Amino acid sequence: MTLSRRSLLRAGALGAGALAGGGLLGACGSGSQPAPVPEFTGGDEWRRFAGTTINFISENTAPTAAIAANLQPFTELTGINVRIVNLELSALVQRVALDLASGQSQYHVIYADPYQVLAPYSAGLADLREFIDADGYPPLEGGLEDFIPTQLAATGTFEDPDKVFALPYDCPTMIWQYRQDLFDAHGDRMRDDLGFDVTPGMERTWEEFFQIAQWFNAHVDEVVAGVGTQSKQHDSLMCDFSNVLWSYGGEYFEGGSEIGLRGATDPGRSLLASDEAKEAAAFYQRLVGIAHPGSRSWDWDGVGNAMAQGQIAMCVNWHEFASGNEESLPGQVSYAPLPHGPARSSAHFGGCGIGISGNTGGAERGAAWLFVNWATSPQTQLANLASAAGGGTPTRTSVYELPEVQAAEQRPSELPNMLTGPTMEVAWRDDVIGLRPKIPMWNECDTAVFTELSKMLAGQQQPAATMDGLARRIDQIVARGWQA
């Protein structure tokens, strides 16, 4: 399905070079339909498109690094050649948007970020049920039911739950990462001084998290600061703040978490001017105020490096930094769910799926599906988990049930990301997982959020005024998206 160039240009006008907007959703060009997939005439279903070459465009992610380092098993299985293009996410979004609008298909398999690709461009992606439910293809092992349900909905669907535009490919989620050695060394004194159990976990409150960080600042010389945050004027700031927002009972829109799970073209009114959101902003400002001085220049890599270098005692970061922690500080870093606020504990989910360009036709369309099927299969996810090139963590329940994966949740572990396994079981629960709004115009909303929060952290405006202004700004963005 071709997206019109006019709609693409409208979308590009909406948001800071994001090429994303409401006018694009559902817009279709008048170009010809893609060529049909050649009929299956028998034989090995995996080999039916042997000799075909396909292109996979992806963000620079751990699973893609692992697959790129070991494509031979897929090539031997299928006879299909895969060329991988790795890009920073904003560059990927622009290339995908232009490719979809062209009516052609330079990129056959697409890393479909739910917020910057799936929501604005779902009309240009193939519904994967075309392949899942068809004869002539190898079955999807374990079926859709094997994917963690919240991840399948969040990364693969948009508004219509019966259409699947992508299969869950990666699942980074924010959790509490802390220096176990320092908590062991100082925990008893810290507990006596503070008057509460300091063991990290969702039993702690955000206020207690703050007090623990402050105690490290005052009493421990082994680290520069008790906590580091990813508060750079960047997407990371929105991600970091959102954990606090949701735990305080705040929401971005009236539709709440359902908009993150299913997506929406019309998300309703912004709720960022609520008392809950203002309280969350005030707390976050206080937290950054006692954090490592580098925090306002750090994204997730910055705070991850600070943890690995021993500069901070704890942080909130994506769980897949565990492998790097284990390499830099072997046996010294542990993991726990995030603290709770007045409403709940919330763990920001940042996973993405992979899908197929709707412009892809002929043998390339079928070959693209074979790659999506293989790249998200239990066997490939297990291989990625063990890959020296990266790997990420699985999105399938069956992989977590394997004895070798469960054994890796304890040290010594040959699969260090699995040290987070018990924490992730909690973080992905329906009542804990945090989902940002899956709407066509989210990219511009995201930019507004981290820009205004950055001003707040710089002391240029107060938390209440920041949230009031953000609510008005986001309502304008959403309304403009409808008018485009």
Each residue's pLDDT tens digit, 10-23: 343 333 333 333 33
Q: What does the pLDDT read at residue 388?
A: 84
Domain spans in the chain, listed from the N-terminal domain onward: 5-172+350-401, 174-348+434-483
Answer yes or no: same fold for 5-172+350-401 and 174-348+434-483. Answer: yes
Three-state SS for 117-154 is HHHHHHHHECCCHHHHCCCCCCCCCCCHHHECHHHHHH
Each residue's pLDDT tens digit, 56-87: 999 999 899 999 999 999 999 999 999 999 99
Q: What does the pLDDT read at residue 6?
A: 32
- Alpha helices for 376-429 (secondary structure H): 378-386, 397-400, 403-407, 421-427
Percent of all residues in the chain with a pLDDT value above 90, rounded to a whole number: 89
CA 445-450-456 angle, to 5 degrees, is 125
CATH superfamily of 5-172+350-401: Periplasmic binding protein-like II (3.40.190.10)
Q: What does the pLDDT read at residue 23?
A: 37
Does the structure show a pLDDT above 70 at 7? Answer: no
Average pLDDT score over residue span 20-42: 64
Does the structure show a pLDDT above 80 at 259? Answer: yes
Average pLDDT score over residue span 451-471: 98
Q: What does the pLDDT read at residue 390?
A: 73
pLDDT band at 31 (very low <50, low <70, confident <90, very high): low
Beta strands 167-170 and 225-228 are: unpaired
Report d(CA 291, CA 360) in Å as an integer: 49
Q: What does the pLDDT read at residue 480?
A: 83
Report d(CA 182, CA 314) in Å as an integer: 10
Q: Is residue 113 a contact partner of residue 93, using CB atoms and an 8 Å limit?
A: yes
Q: List the one residue out of 334, 347, 339 whose CA is nearest residue 420.
A: 334
Lowest pLDDT segment from 3-12, 146-155, 213-222, 235-244: 3-12
Regarding the domain delimited by 174-348+434-483, which CATH topology (the fold level of the hierarchy) does it fall under? D-Maltodextrin-Binding Protein; domain 2 (3.40.190)
Assigned token pair, 327:
């390499």
Indicate the average pLDDT of the chain.
92
CB under 8 Å to 165, separation ≥6 — which residues?
112, 118, 122, 125, 126, 127, 128, 156, 157, 158, 353, 355
Report d(CA 147, CA 153) in Å as an integer: 10
Q: What does the pLDDT read at residue 22?
A: 35
CA 196-200-204 angle, to 5 degrees, is 55
Each residue's pLDDT tens digit, 328-372: 999 999 999 999 999 999 999 999 999 999 999 999 999 999 999
Average pLDDT score over residue span 432-440: 96
Place of tokens 């010389």: 221
Average pLDDT score over residue span 254-269: 92
pLDDT band at 49 (very low <50, low <70, confident <90, very high): very high
Three-state SS for 341-381 is CCCCECEEECCEEEEEECCCCHHHHHHHHHHHHHHCCHHHH
Report d(CA 401, CA 148) in Å as an integer: 12
Amino acid at 1: M
pTM comes to 0.92
Each residue's pLDDT tens digit, 141-156: 999 999 999 999 999 9
Report d(CA 340, CA 346) in Å as an integer: 7
pLDDT band at 392 (very low <50, low <70, confident <90, very high): confident
* Cα pseudo-dihedral 305, 209, 294, 421, rounded to 10: 20
Q: What does the pLDDT read at residue 18?
A: 36
Lowest pLDDT segment from 12-26, 268-282, 287-301, 327-341: 12-26
DSSP helix/strand/coil, 397: helix
pLDDT band at 391 (very low <50, low <70, confident <90, very high): low
Does the structure show a pLDDT above 90 at 257? Answer: no
